[in-house]
Structure 1
């Protein structure tokens, strides 16, 4: 069995040290477990290469600004992530989650750590098998992020209870995955993934202005898509757009690119040849 590795990070001192993942490291009154008050990222390490680190740091910095947390030190976090990878058992695919908590309220000191573990087997398998999806309304319209920044839409926070509840709902109703929609009918994102659809030679994804995360894997895919003759577009997508697309995928750092087989029980087209090409672009 592959064991995870842990690095605790002292943000104030700019240092880090390895820690025993089986021993207590976090105070029970830390605001991460008490309130979910913090931010995080998860990077994929494949073949010893950390993928998309700069994009993840850019998103972590956006989340920090949204949450009124200090600007993360990219150099410190790169070294901490590398140390977690080096301490990990040999593995084809590793996921490193690096986390910043607001810490213990009484002290004002942030808590931070990087935790490395093997990529889940089911996430790797889904790249071939695909997923069945249900659409669930998130309860906000597509302009909510602009009107109500305190909702933290578009920030990658530790508060994932709603996302996990939606995933459980999908599984209870015979599906594998959720794609959220806005109350005015716009396609948003999956609980832990970005939605991308193909229409001819164009890849489309929902506009981040709708209050969704900037997808780091989607950003890398869009950056490299012209290499294989594809154009890219940020757009307002609807359920009908997905049902009539030439292919639909959900993308994340851990899962990479996963084809969607059906939406609300209706089969959608798969383009496995193009999917393999896109996976190759992602490395």
Structure 2
């Protein structure tokens, strides 16, 4: 069985025609062959949306949450609505086709398609995950960076697409390069008026006593799938959970903090802006063990 799987969708949207009316809804194809037009708006404009699902022991995690977020991001970009039945079937087909591994991932992408056309482009890519053991155990160092927007940008300026998971990742990649220049591993974005937001590819979660906190999605941050699973885990352990609008001081004073995401899972923060902060190794280990054991 292969270590990489690529599936091209023939009709990725319920609102647009198929690329080939006679063909199946999707097909597994040779990853070594060219498939994307140089005129596709995914390549020329970053005009599309994506999701990345963690696959643990052959089970895609937060399946329904990812698909719902995928559809919501598409709507925010005025993209044709994805056919979630077809996308779900393609994801499951990719997981079945992929060589078995403890941890893998599936990335799904919907673009507006070739410029000037009316048919969106969609594909599913599956592969084995990199080894994130060090980040999950030793922890990561982060720097806080000003995102340049007020905390209420999602409501005041919806055209900026705050909270959508788009293909336009130039700013996120630039932020990660800035973190590297500062000797850090990752970034926590802060609004221009001092409210904590999220990482370039992750959700911020921190513990304050027996309460798990994350920035409110109304701040224009991504609705975290891994964070949602962790909140259910925390509540099952008798902890409380909260969505807040925290200032930077909340993070510096937290009992423990993490950046969480679908593939890396739970990475404890050990340093913030060159200041060492405590790691809750026991809770971190329990959270990662829980996520790796999920079968839904």
Give the TM bin, normalised by the shorter chain.
over 0.9
Match of 2:47 among 32, 37, 41: 37
Question: Which residue is equivalent to 1:271?
Answer: 280
Question: Which residue is equivalent to 1:6?
Answer: 6
Question: Which residue is equivalent to 2:252?
Answer: 243
Instruction: Report SS of the residue matched to 2:54.
Output: strand
Shift of 1:223: 2.4
> Structure 1 runs of 4+ off > 3 angstroms?
none
Shift of 1:42: 0.3
Instruction: Report SS of the residue matched to 1:164.
Output: helix
Q: Is the 8 A contact 2:233 2:287 kept in 1?
A: no
Report whether the alignment pairs 1:128 with 2:128.
no
Higher mean C-alpha displacement, 95-104 vs 3-12: 3-12
Question: Which residue is equivalent to 2:118?
Answer: 108
Instruction: Report SS of the residue matched to 1:43.
Output: strand
- Distance in 2 (alpha carbons) for counterparts of 1:38 and 1:181: 25
Instruction: Report SS of the residue matched to 2:286.
Output: helix
Please list the CA deviations of residues 109-160 of structure 1 after superposition, one character each: whole Å capped at 9, or x if unmatched.
Answer: 1000000111122x34311121000000000010111111110010000000
Shift of 1:280: 2.9
Question: Which residue is equivalent to 1:225?
Answer: 234
Question: Which residue is equivalent to 2:21?
Answer: none
Equivalent pairs, count = 281
Please list the CA deviations of residues 159-203 of structure 1 after superposition, one character each: whole Å capped at 9, or x if unmatched.
Answer: 001001100110111000000000000000000000000011100
Question: Which residue is equivalent to 1:260?
Answer: 269
Segments of structure 2 that go 5 or more residues without pairing to the other structure are: 19-23
Instruction: Report SS of the residue matched to 2:212.
Output: strand
Matches within 5 A, 1:18-57: 18-57=28-67
Match of 1:138 among 118, 135, 147: 147
Question: Which residue is equivalent to 1:192?
Answer: 201
Shift of 1:224: 2.9
- Distance in 2 (alpha carbons) for counterparts of 1:207 and 1:253: 19
- Distance in 2 (alpha carbons) for counterparts of 1:244 and 1:230: 19
Shift of 1:56: 0.3
Instruction: Report SS of the residue matched to 1:213.
Output: coil
Please list the CA deviations of residues 13-54 of structure 1 after superposition, one character each: whole Å capped at 9, or x if unmatched.
Answer: 471000111110000000000000000000010101111010
Shift of 1:266: 0.4
Instruction: State TM-score, norm by structure 2.
Output: 0.92
Shift of 1:73: 2.2
Q: Is the 8 A contact 2:58 2:100 kept in 1?
A: no
CA RMSD after TM alignment? 1.2
Shift of 1:71: 2.5
Match of 2:26 among 16, 22, 44: 16
Instruction: State TM-score, norm by structure 1.
Output: 0.96
- Distance in 1 (alpha carbons) for counterparts of 2:123 and 2:180: 31
